[in-house]
Structure 1
Amino acid sequence: MLCHQEQRFVYYDKDLKIEAYRLSGIVQKFPNHFHDYYVIGFIEGGRRKLWCKGNEYLLAAGDLVLFNPKDSHHCAPINEECLEYRALNIPEERMRQAAMDITGRNLTPRFEPTAVVQCELSGQVDALYQAIVDDLPKMEKEELFYLLIEQMLKDFLSCQADRIPEGPSEEIQKLCDYMEKNYSTAITLDELADVAKISKSYLVRSFTRQAGVSPYRYLQSIRIQEAKRMLERGTSPIEAAGLAGFSDQSHFTNAFKGFIGLTPKQYQNIFTENRQAGGKR
């Protein structure tokens, strides 16, 4: 199946404090990774296999996908079909605020399941995405946002959402915290094993089982997230590579494109063009 040119669009809405995100003409696989924000997306075209938290899903046009922060996932095309995808990226604090406004409860929502076949909510996601792209009045965007989140809380809120999550063990959480604090340094497996006072083999097995990704993939995800923030603020790709802990520019570019689908410079240009056009960022 022939694809048109790969495109990726990101719009930041300063009123809602969320991102509208679109992938078009994408064929590449995306490696196992996670985000530090919620993702509410839907497939416009192109079938995909998705793996998330140990489960496998077959996605097609009209299907909804829901990722909570730190949900590890990866995907691949079926028969090299081109992915057409729209999504909303919502910071965790923004979601908690919306949940409080809607329910009056102090909770951090957890949404289940990861994939919903032929979900009518896809239309609401699309409407809010388009409202952000078209820069509609703040009140109109807020109405669409709160209607969407209210429906999600009704339909997909996990019964465990307002409980303290079980989470990883203390030793594995210590490693996560350590990598999040020291991502810019050349962290080694020996170093992590010393931090947790466990063997390297046990560390790899236990970490991967509990976190859903390997220690190296976890560190890469953190570095990519930090590099994205730097690029969005205007930091040069060369400087961002060093500050995020990548050993060289080539390694950074390959890792970034593997996760995001674009080179660091292409990603940064999206935000530069938005600013020059009087966009949202």
Structure 2
Amino acid sequence: MRNEPGTAVYDQELRLEAYRFHRCSFPKHFHEYYVIGYIADGRGLLICRDVRYALEKGNLILYNPGDLHSCSENGAPPDYWGLHIPRETMLDLTGELTGRRTLPVFSRNVVSDPEAAWDFRALHRQIMDGSREFGKEERLLLLLSRLLRLCGQPFQASPPAGREAVERARAFMEEHCGERITLERVAGEAGLSKSALLRAFAREKGVTPYNYLESLRIGEAKKLLEQGVPPAEAALRTGFSDQSHFTNYFSRFIGLSPGAYREIFTEKERTTHEK
């Protein structure tokens, strides 16, 4: 099932994105940012970090950067609301709450908590309605504070030495994600054969190197589209083979076409100039 059209807003004051999707499903993927989601209606099946969750109306969903997940319908396709929070924004939020700019880790991916859900709904509506009141930021801090008390924990220590080859491959792909790179080149940077890299990378990251690279490219493409770069140019600059491949992949993972996503930020700039 493909996602039905969604709506999205970028909140310049909070420095995050808000989404609403009707009857949604998403294939296996990950994000470079934090996600706080909400099931507004319907039911779904979430698989995150190899754990299966039956989603019900009122559930909150939490993703850390890099959490591999997919979501499908479970009887009644879910309506989904989401907040996408960049790492830098999260650092500032946790610094405000704790006095330390430390990236948290959510230990649970699905939360059933009426108070947190109420805060989320109120905050999400304020963002979607374009509220400029300071109560919006207050609501965000209250929500995050409660979620961190419910299921926050410090980040884990750095990867052990056994994962160093995979980390070299990951770092190389992040640095060169806009280029046409080959599996042989990535394996060479990691110091492994191609088959050994595939096994090790899938074991450590839960996806193949190519799937990881595609997710990185989508993240970079989003940044270019936010700056007003045309979709065709964004596809070229992020290493996609052609615009059709880029459009299909972007739409599957973001829920909007590249042009629709770019329009969010075009509208933001237009509104700013009119003030």
Task: Using structure 2 for the length normalisation, give the TM-score.
Answer: 0.91
AA aligned to 1:232 is: E
Instruction: Tell me whether 1:235 sits opposite 2:229 in the alignment.
Output: yes
Of the candidates 23, 46, 50, which is equivalent to residue 25 of structure 1? Answer: 23
Residue 200 (structure 1) aligned with residue 194 (structure 2):
yes
Amino acid at match of 1:10: A
**1:246 correspondence with 2:218:** no
Q: Which runs of 5+ in 1 are unaligned?
A: none
Structure 1 counterpart of 2:168, from 159, 174, 182: 174
Alignment correspondent of 1:66:
62
Seen in structure 2, the aligned counterparts of structure 1 residues 37 and 266 have a Cα distance that, compared at 3 Å, is same
Q: CA deviation at 1:78?
A: 2.2
Do residues 261 (structure 1) and 255 (structure 2) align?
yes
User: Does the residue aligned with 2:251 lie in a helix, a strand or coil?
Assistant: helix
Which amino acid is the alignment partner of residue 115 of structure 1? Answer: V
1:30-49 equivalences in 2 (<5 Å): 30-49=26-45
SS of corresponding position for 1:19: strand
SS at match of 1:25: coil
TM-superposed CA distance for 1:46, in Å, is 2.4
For residues 187-220 of structure 1, give each alpha carbon's deviation from its aligned partner in whole angstroms, at most 9, with x where no partner exists. Answer: 1111111111111111111101111211111000
The CA deviation at 1:47 is 1.5
Partner of 2:210: 216
Alignment TM-score, normalising by the size of structure 1? 0.89
Unmatched segments (≥5 aa) in structure 2: none
Instruction: Return the offset for 1:266.
Output: 2.5
TM-superposition CA deviations, 1:135-189 (whole Å, max 9, x none): 333421121111111111211112xx15534478111111111111111111111
- The code of the aligned residue for 1:94 comes to T
Q: Which residue among 158, 164, 172 is the counterpart of 2:157?
A: 164
Structure 2 counterpart of 1:246, which letter? F
Change (3 A) 1:232 1:122: same
Give the Cα separation in 2 of the matches to 1:127 and 1:36. Answer: 25
Hey, what does 1:55 align to over in structure 2?
51
Answer yes or no: is 1:142 the counterpart of 2:137. yes
Identity, % of aligned positions: 41
Question: Which residue of structure 1 lines up, in the alignment, with residue 105 of structure 2?
Answer: 110
Task: Output the amino acid matched with 1:270.
Answer: I
Q: Which position in structure 1 is the counterpart of 2:149?
A: 154
Mapping 1:186-197, distance limit 5 Å: 186-197=180-191
Which residue of structure 1 lines up, in the alignment, with residue 10 of structure 2? 12
* Structure number with higher relative contact order (C-alpha < 8 Å, ≥ 6 residues apart): 1
Judge conservation of contact 1:7–1:25 (CA < 8 Å) in 2: no
In the TM superposition, residue 8 of structure 1 has moved relative to its aligned partner by: 1.6
Q: CA RMSD in A?
A: 2.3
1:61–1:118 contact (8 Å) kept in structure 2 = no
1:119 is displaced (CA, Å) by 4.6
Partner Cα separation in structure 2 for residue 257 and residue 132 of structure 1: 23
Distance verdict in 2 for CA 1:150–1:117, change over 3 Å: closer
| Partner Cα distance (2:14, 2:251) in 1 | 28
